[in-house]
Structures are given as C-alpha cells and as structure tokens.
Structure 1
Amino acid sequence: MMEHLRSEIESIRQEFYPEQSDRSLFHLNQEKKYIVKNLEREQEFKCINVPKNLHETKIFIPFTNEHQIIEFHDDLVNKTDLIYEEELSVLNEKENKETIESLQCERTIIMTELGKTKDQNLKNENIGKKFKYCIIKKKNGKKKYYKHTSNLFITNSYDDFLFLQNKNIYQNMTEDSFEVEVKKYVISELAYQKIVVDLTNPQKNELGSLYLRQVTSEPIKNNDLDLIDQYINIEKIEDVLFSMTSWAVIPKEIFKNLHQIKNLDIFDYFSFLDTDNFEYLKNLKVIHFLRGVQEIRCNAFNGLNNLVYLSLDYCDLTFLESGCFDGLINLKYLSLVRNRISEISEEIFSPLKNLIYLYMGDNPLEYFNPKGLNNLQYLNIDSPEFFDSSILTKYDQKQQNHHSLKLSGMRSYSNLKNVEALKSHKMIINSKNLKVLDLYQFSRENCDPNDPNIFKDLEYFKLEKLNLLGDDNFINRFNFRNLKVLVGSFEKIPKFEKSLSNLKYLVLDYVKEFDKNCFEHFINLEYLKISIDKNASLIEEIEPDHFMGIKQLKCFEVKINSGKLPDLSAKESIFENLFKPDEKLRKTSFENFYKIYQENSEHINPFEYLNVDDILACESILRNQHEKIISKILK
C-alpha cells in the first residue's frame, strides 16, 4: 500500500510541482521533518486577534515575493500529505478499499486546487497586490458526521484567513457573538457540502436553508446577518430556522437580506411580535412559531400578502389583539394549538377572507365567533378543556360552501359558553355541501332527522366515539348517495340500506352483534375491516349469509380488540368468496388479526376514493400531518 501512496504523491507533484518531482522519498521525509519550523509562521498569524467588526476588511498581504508564495504553498502541500497519510496508514488495503480510494480522491482534489491557486498567486500582476489565501483544516470528532476528512478554504480576505486560522468552524454552540456564530455556521455548512470551499466567488456557494441560533445573551443587532452575502448566494436560500431563546425583541432589519425566503421557522421566542416585524419578507409562504410568543401586536404580519400557512403552536398567547392578522389576505391555514386563549372577539378573523383551515385545539375558550370566515372548510376546536355538546357546534346556514368539517372534543365540559356562528335552531351540524366530516362524537341531537338529504354530498364520514349513533338504524334515515368512505363504531352492525350502495371503504369498530344480510347492497365495496369487541365467539358464528352482496373486495380484515382470534381455517372459504373469482390472494394473520387481500392491495388509502379538490391537504388535515401541507405549499 505504501508503494501505491508514494506513486500517487509523485504523480501529483509531477503535475503541479515539477521542481520537486525528482526528489527521492528520503528527501521528501527530510522535508516533512522541517514542517514544525515551517508552521511557526502560521502561529504568528494565529496570535493576531480576529477584528471585532467582521464587516471591516483589512487590505494586507503578508506574501510580497515569489519565494514567500512558493514557501506558503509548499507548507500547505506538506500539511495535506501528512493529514491523508495519517488516515491511510491505519487502513488495510483489502478491507478498506473504498475508503482508501475516497481519501486518495479527496487529496487529489485538494492538491489540484492548491496547484491552480499557486499559479494565480505567482502571476506578476498579482504579487504584492492580490492574493488568494489557502487554509487546510482537518475535521475533528466523529467522522460519521462528516463527508470529508478535511477541507481546503480559499479566500481573498486576510480577515477571513485569520478567522479561519483562529476559529474552530466545526464546533457550534460556543460563547461567540451571534454574528460570529452565523459566519461559522455558513462556512461550516459549505464545508459539509464541499471538499474545497472557495469563498472568493460567493455566487457559486449555495445553501437552501439556514439554522441560526444564539448562545450568548448580548442584544441582537440589525446588521448581524449582513455578512451572509459575502459567502453564499442569498438568492438561493428558501428556508430559515431561528432559535431565539435569548432574544428580547426581533429587530425587523435582521430580515432585510432574506427577502427571497419562502419558509420561516422561529422557535422559543418568549416575547411579542411587533408591528411590521416581517415587512421585508414579501415572498414568505409559511411561518411556523413553536413555543414562546406571548403577544401579537396590530399589523405584526403586515406586508405578507403571499403567506399561506401560519402556525403559532405551543405558545403563550392569552388573547388576540384586534388587527393582529391584518394583511394576511391569502392565508389558508391557521393553527393556534396549545395556547391559553380564553376568548376571541368577533372581528379577529375578519381579514382572513381565504382561510380554509382553523385549528384551535387545547385552548380554554369561553367564547368563540368565527365571523367572516365564509370560505372555512375545516374547523377543529378539539380540547379536553371545553365543549359542551348540549349547546353547539354547527356551521352557520349562510356558509354553504364548506367541503370538510372536523368537530372534535364534543365532551361534557362546560367552559365554553357561546359559539354564536355555530348555532342553529333545528340542528347542530349543517353538512350540506360538505364532502368530508370527521367527528369525535355524534348523536341524534347533532342533526335534523327530518331532513334526509343533509348528508347527500358527503364522501367521507368518520365517527371516532364508541356507540355513536344512538340506535342501530339511525344511519339509514339519511341519503348517503355519494358516500365512499365510512369509518365508525357500531355495537350492532345495522342492515345498511340502498342509499349506501356506492360505498367503497368501510371500517366497523367495537362490534358486539353481527346479523346476516347486513351488506346486501354493498356491491361496490372494495375494503372491509371489522373489529370485534372481545367476543371471539362472534367470529365463529360467521356464515356466508353474513356477507351476502359483497363480491369484489380487494382487502378484508378482521381483528379482536381484546383476546385471541379462534382458528379461522374453516372460515377461509367464506372470506375467499368475497373476492372476484381467480384473483391471486395473499393472507396475513396474527393471534388477534387476520387479513386476506389481492396482490398489491394490502394497503388501501381511503382518500383515493374521494372526489375533492385537494386530496393531499384533506388527508394531511385529517391525519394531522402538517408537514405534507407545508411541503405542497412550498413546491
């Protein structure tokens, strides 16, 4: 292996350092013995303090003649050799072939760049006037977190040269100022991506995201981010995350160089949002605050005409000031989960003309009036703190264009006194034009049984609470002609009527009774899941007539919620007849679970059956997967 290394070193030297190509290995080793002496000059640089103001650039070139420049680059070549020979010397050539090749490739890249930089620095027009500083730094720590063994940094700035000499850019969370931490972060992120970090051409250095945090408690200055464009192309930054634990205020000038970003995350900002805080962020589409925010002042989001998603979850908001959402003319998603909001005045949401999603979960609300939210499609006020189901929860009859509704947390709590715009004289849920309805609890008092068409446009109906429907045939009193997905709890499976004949996906939970001929109208059903509540003998009593009408399933599941399933081998022929003849079927079973399904139909997504404008958003909302919504917005 050593012979191979010697050959590699000599080939590089022959190309870029011909004056050294005929040296023997003995002379090469002798040269390396003097590295300590050569590095003494580097220590002279290290003893010079980095200037406090990073925006000042010294025009100083310590290398004023050809000899000094050659000596400077020779030192770098020797240092590079030592770094990689040390790494290679402990590797077995047979066992670590890929690692050895990778290290050799890295060294070749660095040597190539050193040769090019040396040639430029030795040009007559550059000597004493213009100089490209090179610094080789070996990464310390656990190598699995790094892509490369070392980095070559190239800069025109003497101050940056000193900065790189003095600072460990691979180490975060030090006691440096925020400005210095930002600079270290940007350079270290470039170093993670590249072996050679060329700071002389920032337009070619791209970072898609920034994660910025402050360790010290010193005040944040307006110009702390001004240095970013000296190192990277700021037009390519789309996502920025700030950790603001020690920030007392957000200086709005901090964002002036980030005008192009689309996604902003702010964590642990325990203070207030002031007027025009984000006026520079005209292109912003998503803001996500997590923990902290105590107050939103009037016009705090002024100018954010393109904002689509706003989240203020797990913050410390106790009230919403009038005008706090002014300017958010295109906002569609608003989440205020886990705050301490007890009352919301009528005019708060009136500027949000395009809001379709409002999530107010886990707030101790006593009064709520979503006045002006005429396009709202999804409302979640799920909370263990409130929701008296005896008085409320319905969309105003004027709001006839909603497509989905989730009313959760309908429990016997009495904190909530009034939900003005959600009341109705005759019924609690007005579901006309709704396509998706997701309820925590449901009973006959939640709708008008005299209007059989209130669910006629519904395509997805989910009922999460045990024994929801009050009586077994309650669901047959309504017209579900467009219903594709039904998920609910039924102690006794009813004999479903013809109005449900278009059903494609059916889940029946907590079943205690199962009569024959319940499914005779389900000629289009493709997915059926039955969860038995403890009584395993119910499965043993199953006969072919129990599934009369079902002939083209793609997947059938049966499980018992507590206990073990009996031996189902005698029932398998019944289950197989639920599928089209000659289908290739697969089976999976555990002690409390049995599934039979067509090939490639083991996992069926119920949302694929829906004819809604935005299936991804609908699915993400109901499954509380906000990251998918955000991803789509940003794309």
Structure 2
Amino acid sequence: MAFVKKRLSLVTSCLLILFKKLFAYDQMSAYTDQCQIEYRETPYNQSVVDMKCQGQDLELFPNLTQIVNLPIQRLDLRNNSFSKLTITSETFDGASITELNLDNNQFVDIEYNAFSAIDGLRKLTMNNCTLRSRDLDFLRNIPQLSVLSLRSNKIQEISDKSIFIGSPLESLDLSHNSNITILEDVLKALAPTLLHIRLDYCNIDVSNLHFLNGLSKLKTLSMEGAYSTKYNSIQNRFDLLKVWNLESLSLSNSGLKVIFANTFDGLNNLRYLDLSRNELTYQIFDVTNTLPNLQILRLSHNPNIQSIIKILNRNLSELHMEETGVNLISYDAFKLLGDSLKVLNLKSCQLPAEGMFLVDALRPLRSLKRLDLSYNHLKEIFNETFDNLNKLEKLDISGNIIKFSIHDFSGLEESLRSLKLRNMTLRTLPLEALSTLENLLELDASFNNFSNITRNFLKGISVKTLNLTSCNISEIDNNVLHHFHKTNLILDGNHISDLEFLSLLGRNTFRSLTLNNNNLNCSLVELHAKLMVFETLEGRCTIGNRTEPLIKYFTNKFNMKLSSTANGIGRNQNLAVLLTVFISITLVRIFPCH
C-alpha cells in the first residue's frame, strides 16, 4: 500500500505540473490597483514579475511591498503624472528590479541616491523626462547599470568626469538632446565596458571627436544629424582616437562633402557604414575601399555621387545607392564582389535608357539575391543582363518604361521568387517573359492601367501572391482566375462594382482576397456570394447610404470558422481541466487512501 500511495503521490504531482503548464502562463495576470502584474518563468525556471503601470495617470509610484520574494524583471511606468514627485532612495524601497522605464514623465527632483537601493538594476530608460545637465548626479550611484537611455531630454553638456567612475555601462543613448557638448575625457571612465553609444541628432561637431578618445571596446557609434564646423569634413583620424574595435558607424545626414583618405584608418573591424544623406562624390569609394571587413555600405541620398568605380571590399554583402545621381557604373565596379554581394539597391538613380552597360557591370554578381533598379530611365533589358545572376530571388524594375521581350529574364528562370512591375504604364502583363519564371511566387503589378482583366490576362501565370492595386480595373473575366489555388489576391483601389468573377471559382481559389476602396454594390455582391474559404477577406460594399463588410455576404460558416480558430485554445484548456479532474478522481477510486 505504501508503494501505491507513493505512485499516487507521483501521479498527483505530475497532474499538478500539467495543470500549471496549461494555465499558469496565460491566466496568471491580475490587476493590483492600476498596475497589471504578470508572473512568468525565465528559461532557468526562476519566477519573475513584469509590472505594467504605463499610461495610468499615476501621481505616486506603486507599492512594491506586495511583490514578496519575487524579482521584478520589468517595471514600466511610462506616461504617468509624477510632476509633483521627488524620487528618493525610499521610493523603490530596496526592490529587485532589472529594467525600469520612466519615459515621458516629469519629476520635481531626482536625488543623487534615488536608484542606489534598487537591487540588480541593469537597464534604465528616462527618455523625454526634461532632464538637464544638472540632474545627472543620480548616475554615479547605480552600481550594476549596463544600459542607459536618456533620449529627447534637455541635456546640453556632459562635463562632470566623476558621474561615470566605476560604472559598468555598456550602452549609452543620448540622441535628440540638441546641441549637446561632451567634454574630452568625460567618457574615459567607461572605456573598460562601453560598447554602444548613440548621439543621433545631437548636433555633434564631427570636426572634433576627441571625446571618443580611448574608447577601445566601442563597437557601435551612431551620430546621425551631426555637422562639421571645418570644411564639411571629419577632422579626426579614427586610428588616433583608438576606437579600433568599432564595427558599426553611422554619420547619416551630417552635411559631409568630403572625407579624407586616412580618416577611417584603423577601422579594420568595421562592418557597417552609413554615410547616406550627405553631399559626397564618387571619390568616397577611394576612402571606403580601405575598409577590409566592410559588409554593408549605405551611400543613399548623396545626389553628387554620379558613378560607381571599382569596389575593393571583398566582403561587401549590401550596397545601397538609392536616390543618388549614379548614371554610370564601371564595367569592373563589382568584379571582386562575386562571392559576397547579396543586395544591390539602385532605386531612383539616373541610370540611362540604354541599358547595355548593365550587362558587364552585373555579370560577376553570381551570389546576388536582391536587385532594385526601380524608377530609373531604363527602356530595354538586354538578353544577357541577368544571365549570371542565377541566385537572384527578388527583382524590382518598377517605374521604368520598358518594352519587354521573351528573353528579358534569361538566367532567372529557376531562382526568381519575387518580381515588381509597379507603375510602368502597362496595359497588359508581359506574359512571354513571365512564363519563363518557373518558381515565381509573388508578382506585384500595382499602379498600372489594365482596365479589363480578360480571359487570357494571366495565362501561364501561377503565383502565391498577386498584387493589382490601383490598376483602374473595372471588369474581371469569370475564367481568368480558375487555375489559382490558395492565392493571395490584392485588388485594392480599383473600380470593381460586383463579384461576378467569383461565380465559377472553386472554394480554395484564394488564401486571401482584399478589395478595399472599390465601388462594390452590396446587392450585386449578394448575387455571387457563395461558400468560399478565405483566411482573410477585406473590403466593404455600399447599400444605400451605408457600407457593410463583405464578410457578411459570404455565409455564416466563414464566421464560424474564424470563431472556432479564435476559441480553439480556450476549448482545449477546458478539455484539459475536465481530463485532469477525471483522471484524478479515477485514480483515487482505484487507489483509495487508507
């Protein structure tokens, strides 16, 4: 009997664990006062609490004494009304908090030891709290803080060298503190730990970057929206600043006109460089070519870059040149990038109508997966343009007025999955060229002028997603879609008035159908509504002076399907409860406790 009782105890324990797993995680949430408290377990089976108190118009901090013996993983106090509150060391009463969010609040004062009593505080965000330079004393007393975000405050100067002494800070974000000045050596105390710093739109003067000196572990530096007081250039050499481990550098929208040849010396680990939205010329390639491990280069929105010369970065995987003045690409520009370049973006450049120059330029790119040539001046595609791009999966040639031929996509027959032909003044689809694409899954031909979709309009085309948004379509032939199976069809923004084209289609023709912003008449819709299965059906029709959702006309079984899906989890849980109770009672009857 002792053995039986032991087995019964084991079974009962297993059932309790099952019960906990089924219900604990989605029902262990309760509201205490105006905070939502959620209990969960970490991957190491440690119970923690998330407290969500944001946007509750609180004037006082919540009472944390109700959380007994459980660490708070995240305490979210954003968007409240603490304007009459002073934060003191007693405010959090020694609570264990890992992440504290105080964004979009104002305080009377923050005492120097306000956060020192919090056990384990590692992340503090106080964005848009009207903090000023004089309010930063509290930073010197958070011994375990590793992530600090003070975006969008009124900090104009960081001059006190002592506030970071002994701090283990790894990430610092001071973005959107306009006209901030960081004095030399202020950040030097963070040299052993600081990995990431963001100073976007702080009007940092990039002609004087001495405050970075000695941050040898720094990996990410972002200074978008900076400026230069000397010749629109960077005056410091990064090797002399000793930031040798930098992997990501952003200087977008910084008014740069020239970057000297040795500026990036020492950045042998740099993988990401963003110099977009400046006034650089093609000579920038002479500078970037010195970066041996560069993988992503963004030069977008530099209208003065008019050509691409030979690129020497053998590890480059992405090149973004959209909205530059590029009208010429050297025949050997990508000669060394055959095994590395995966993404090439030349959207809205000035590529000329004569596209023959693309043949030699693109030929080496045997590893390219995404190519964007949209919104240039191309008028023809030469037969050999894509011949060697047999790994290309996504191609965008929208916005070019191209005369298509059957061989235009030669080389892409097996690889191409997504093709965009938007806004090309097409009246019909280039079926001969498209029919060669054996594995095409997505075709976007939006913003063309198709008017009527005739019987043979999609002959030979079988894709999973077809987008015909805003194509002036008013009529669709009843048989044009009969070969589709679980297709996503987007017909938004056309002039379709009825759904007669659905009348001959099978119930699994569509996975989703969207008809937003058409001229659908509910009475005409009702004539052709039938039992069809959609995962998504979007659109409305008009009846009199009101509009109604299309779903109303596609049988109650559709609604039942959605309802059963939404409630499936709940029913399974109820079944689990009944099963658990039944098994428990049965076991007790079989093995009675004497």
TM-score, normalized by length of structure 2? Answer: 0.58
Indicate conservation of the 8 Å contact 1:381/1:407, yes or no. Answer: yes
Return the letter of the residue paired with 2:105. Y
Q: Say if 1:520 and 1:259 are closer, same or farther in 2 by CA, change over 3 A.
A: same
For the pair 1:556 / 2:516, whether they are aligned, the reply is: no
SS in 2 for 1:323: helix
- Work out the CA distance in 1 between the residues paired with 2:435 and 2:410: 4
- Work out the CA distance in 2 between the residues paired with 1:258 and 1:296: 22
- Work out the CA distance in 1 between the residues paired with 2:354 and 2:431: 19
Return the letter of the residue paired with 1:152. Y
- Work out the CA distance in 1 between the residues paired with 2:424 and 2:92: 70
Alignment of 1:10-21 (within 5 A): none
Report how far residue 301 of structure 1 moved: 2.1
- Per mean C-alpha deviation after superposition, the further-off stretch among 241-250 and 434-443 is 241-250
Aligned equivalent of 2:554: none
Q: Say if 1:452 and 1:262 are closer, same or farther in 2 by CA, change over 3 A.
A: closer
Report how far residue 411 of structure 1 moved: 3.5
Return the letter of the residue paired with 1:334. L
- Work out the CA distance in 2 between the residues paired with 1:588 and 1:104: 49
Counterpart of 1:226 (choices 173, 181, 185) is: 185
SS in 1 for 2:212: helix
Report how far residue 577 of structure 1 moved: 1.9
Indicate conservation of the 8 Å contact 1:435/1:458, yes or no. Answer: yes
Aligned equivalent of 1:589: 540
Indicate conservation of the 8 Å contact 2:362/2:385, yes or no. Answer: no
Report how far residue 528 of structure 1 moved: 1.6
Deviation track 1:419-457 (CA, whole Å, cap 9, x = no partner) reads xxxx98535455532111122235664665387663321
Counterpart of 1:438 (choices 382, 396, 400) is: 396
Q: How high is the sequence identity, in percent, across the aligned residues?
A: 17
Aligned equivalent of 2:251: 289
Q: Say if 1:594 and 1:429 are closer, same or farther in 2 by CA, change over 3 A.
A: farther
TM-score, normalized by length of structure 1? Answer: 0.55
- Work out the CA distance in 2 between the residues paired with 1:462 and 1:435: 12
Report how far residue 100 of structure 1 moved: 8.4
Q: Say if 1:544 and 1:206 are closer, same or farther in 2 by CA, change over 3 A.
A: same
Aligned equivalent of 1:544: 503
Aligned equivalent of 1:426: 383
- Work out the CA distance in 2 between the residues paired with 1:409 and 1:360: 13
Indicate conservation of the 8 Å contact 2:522/2:541, yes or no. Answer: no
Q: Say if 1:443 and 1:301 are closer, same or farther in 2 by CA, change over 3 A.
A: same
Indicate conservation of the 8 Å contact 1:338/1:361, yes or no. Answer: yes
Indicate conservation of the 8 Å contact 2:250/2:273, yes or no. Answer: yes
- Work out the CA distance in 1 between the residues paired with 2:532 and 2:501: 13
Counterpart of 2:467 (choices 494, 504, 507) is: 507
Aligned equivalent of 1:250: 208
For the pair 1:485 / 2:442, whether they are aligned, the reply is: yes
Aligned equivalent of 2:351: 387
- Work out the CA distance in 2 between the residues paired with 1:521 and 1:313: 45
Alignment of 1:16-165 (within 5 A): 98-99=60-61, 107=88, 109=90, 145-146=105-106, 149-153=109-113
The structure where helix makes up a greater share of residues is 1
Deviation track 1:193-219 (CA, whole Å, cap 9, x = no partner) reads 99xxxx7994355362142778599xx
Report how far residue 324 of structure 1 moved: 0.3
Alignment of 1:187-336 (within 5 A): 187=137, 202-204=165-167, 206=169, 208-211=171-174, 215=179, 224-230=183-189, 235-241=193-199, 245=203, 247=205, 249-251=207-209, 254-257=212-215, 259-270=217-228, 271-273=232-234, 276-277=237-238, 280-291=242-253, 292-321=255-284, 323-336=286-299
Return the letter of the residue paired with 2:374. S
Q: Say if 1:478 and 1:444 are closer, same or farther in 2 by CA, change over 3 A.
A: farther
SS in 2 for 1:361: coil
Alignment of 1:357-506 (within 5 A): 357-369=318-330, 370-372=333-335, 373-374=337-338, 375-383=340-348, 386-391=350-355, 393=358, 396-411=362-377, 426-430=383-387, 432-441=390-399, 445=403, 449=407, 454-468=412-426, 471-472=428-429, 474=431, 478-489=435-446, 491=450, 492-493=452-453, 495=456, 500-501=461-462, 503-506=463-466
Return the letter of the residue paired with 2:258. E
Deviation track 1:364-404 (CA, whole Å, cap 9, x = no partner) reads 33433333333333322233x72333435555233222111
Indicate conservation of the 8 Å contact 1:342/1:366, yes or no. Answer: no
Aligned equivalent of 1:58: none
Aligned equivalent of 1:528: 489
SS in 2 for 1:324: helix
Return the letter of the residue paired with 1:454. L
SS in 1 for 2:250: strand
Q: Say if 1:206 and 1:146 are closer, same or farther in 2 by CA, change over 3 A.
A: farther
Deviation track 1:331-352 (CA, whole Å, cap 9, x = no partner) reads 22222122232433623x2x22
- Work out the CA distance in 1 between the residues paired with 2:251 and 2:294: 15
Whichever of the two has the greater Rg, that structure is 1
- Work out the CA distance in 2 between the residues paired with 1:427 and 1:277: 43
Indicate conservation of the 8 Å contact 2:87/2:111, yes or no. Answer: no
Report how far residue 519 of structure 1 moved: 2.2
- Work out the CA distance in 1 between the residues paired with 2:351 and 2:326: 9
- Work out the CA distance in 2 between the residues paired with 1:98 and 1:147: 11
Counterpart of 1:337 (choices 283, 292, 300) is: 300
- Work out the CA distance in 1 between the residues paired with 2:400 and 2:246: 40
Indicate conservation of the 8 Å contact 2:341/2:368, yes or no. Answer: yes
Aligned equivalent of 2:71: none
- Work out the CA distance in 1 between the residues paired with 2:409 and 2:347: 27
Report how far residue 552 of structure 1 moved: 5.4
Indicate conservation of the 8 Å contact 1:339/1:362, yes or no. Answer: yes
Report how far residue 190 of structure 1 moved: 6.2
Indicate conservation of the 8 Å contact 1:426/1:448, yes or no. Answer: no
Report how far residue 281 of structure 1 moved: 2.5
- Work out the CA distance in 2 between the residues paired with 1:588 and 1:497: 23
Q: Say if 1:428 and 1:256 are closer, same or farther in 2 by CA, change over 3 A.
A: same
Indicate conservation of the 8 Å contact 2:86/2:110, yes or no. Answer: no
- Work out the CA distance in 2 between the residues paired with 1:362 and 1:449: 29
Q: Say if 1:267 and 1:532 are closer, same or farther in 2 by CA, change over 3 A.
A: closer
Report how far residue 110 of structure 1 moved: 7.9
Q: Say if 1:201 and 1:255 are closer, same or farther in 2 by CA, change over 3 A.
A: closer
Q: Say if 1:498 and 1:588 are closer, same or farther in 2 by CA, change over 3 A.
A: closer
Indicate conservation of the 8 Å contact 1:449/1:477, yes or no. Answer: no
Indicate conservation of the 8 Å contact 2:308/2:326, yes or no. Answer: no
Indicate conservation of the 8 Å contact 2:402/2:424, yes or no. Answer: no
Report how far residue 589 of structure 1 moved: 2.9
When the two chains are superposed, the root-mean-square deviation of aligned CA atoms in Å is 4.7
Q: Say if 1:556 and 1:286 are closer, same or farther in 2 by CA, change over 3 A.
A: same
Alignment of 1:180-191 (within 5 A): 187=137
Report how far residue 556 of structure 1 moved: 1.3
How many residues align? The count is 423
Indicate conservation of the 8 Å contact 1:285/1:308, yes or no. Answer: yes
Report how far residue 235 of structure 1 moved: 0.4
Indicate conservation of the 8 Å contact 2:465/2:488, yes or no. Answer: yes
